[in-house]
């Protein structure tokens, strides 16, 4: 695939079905409700700065996305840390640099808004995703998540 044919743009509310579809292709389950809550939070609330992006192919079809959260604090003061929640590339378009493009543009967008650090959570067993984040200059943070089963 010609890399120049891929266009990265801000995610819109209308991208909902495409995002849910890509997620379903990756996870093999429907997480429509999860994304409904996420889209409501990010697109209907004024507390978050638009930070999520999609990748479109030359026909305008959405082939990948990255969802992030940048909270517009009280009094409209932007935070220095943002979250990268979910990244997904349609399996038919993986390993062609789309993920890397999404990641680069996400970082540039965040940097331009004054963000200094991006946090994300990755499942310990998801070696591919850990490798992808590592290749994109993420490293383990100094805090760890603790949990207790009840
Ligand atoms: C992680 C993920 C986003 C990467 O997307 P991608 O578009 O395949 O990423 P890239 O193509 O930029 O890079 C992936 C690999 O392809 C390689 N690659 C990049 N361009 C390439 C090309 N033109 N030819 C061959 N390989 C290439 C990269 O070197 C990289 O290899 P590495 O992982 O060994 O470092 C994608 O695999 C994915 O969506 N995984 C599932 C994530 C998930 O579970 N999300 C939650 C649900 S949505």
Which pLDDT tens digit goes with each residue over 106-132? 999 999 999 999 999 999 999 999 999
Q: Is the CB of 18 under 6 A from ligand 1?
A: no
Query: Is residue 131 in a domain?
Result: no
Range of the domain at 92: 3-121
Would you state the pLDDT for residue 140?
Answer: 95
Average pLDDT, the chain: 94
Would you state the pLDDT for residue 93?
Answer: 97
Of 114, 7, 139, residue with least CA distance to 62: 7
Residue nearest to atom 4 of ligand 1 (CA): 99
Q: Does the pLDDT at position 96 exceed 90?
A: yes
Q: Compute CA distances 108 → 8, 43, 113, 115, 141, whole Å.
A: 12, 21, 9, 10, 21
pLDDT category at 18 given cuts 50, 70, 90 is very high
Query: Is residue 148 in a domain?
Result: no
Of 93, 91, 87, residue with least CA distance to 106: 87
What is d(CA 112, CA 108) in angstroms, rounded to the nearest whole number? 6
Give the orientation angle of helix 16-27 with respect to helix 32-39, to 10 degrees: 140
Query: Is residue 128 in a domain?
Result: no
Of 27, 35, 29, 30, residue with least CA distance to 11: 35
User: Which of 95, 105, 127, when mutated, tests ligand 1's pocket best, judged by the most ligand atoms within 8 Å of its CB?
Assistant: 95
Query: Is residue 130 in a domain?
Result: no
Query: Is residue 69 in a domain?
Result: yes
What is the whole-number distance in angstroms between the Cα of residue 96 and the centre of ligand 1?
A: 7
Our count of domains for the chain comes to 1
Phi, psi of 97 (to 5 degrees): 90, 0
Would you state the pLDDT for residue 134?
Answer: 97
Nearest ligand 1 atom, CA 128: 33
Task: Give the CATH number for residue 109.
Answer: 3.40.630.30
**Percent of all residues in the chain with a pLDDT value above 90, rounded to a whole number:** 81
Q: Is the CB of 79 under 6 A from ligand 1?
A: no
Q: Is 35 exposed, middle or buried (0-12, 13-18, 19+ CB in 10 A)?
A: middle
Would you state the pLDDT for residue 56?
Answer: 98
pLDDT category at 46 given cuts 50, 70, 90 is confident
What is the whole-number distance in angstroms between the Cα of residue 115 and the centre of ligand 1?
A: 25
pLDDT category at 74 given cuts 50, 70, 90 is confident
What is the whole-number distance in angstroms between the Cα of residue 95 and the centre of ligand 1?
A: 4
């Amino acid at each position: 695939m010609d890399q120049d044919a891929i266009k990265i743009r801000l995610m819109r509310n209308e991208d909902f079905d495409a995002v849910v579809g890509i997620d379903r292709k990756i996870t093999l389950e429907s997480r429509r409700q999860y994304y409904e809550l996420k889209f409501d939070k990010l697109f209907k609330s004024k507390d978050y700065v638009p930070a999520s992006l999609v990748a479109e192919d030359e026909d305008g079809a959405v082939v990948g996305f990255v969802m992030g959260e940048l909270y517009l604090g009280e009094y409209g003061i932007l935070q220095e840390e943002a979250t990268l929640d979910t990244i997904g590339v349609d399996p038919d378009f993986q390993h062609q640099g789309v993920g890397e493009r999404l990641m680069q543009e996400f970082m540039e967008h965040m940097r331009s808004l004054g963000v200094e650090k991006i946090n994300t959570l990755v499942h310990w067993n998801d070696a591919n995703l850990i490798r992808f984040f590592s290749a994109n200059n993420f490293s383990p943070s100094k805090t760890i998540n603790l949990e207790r089963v009840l």
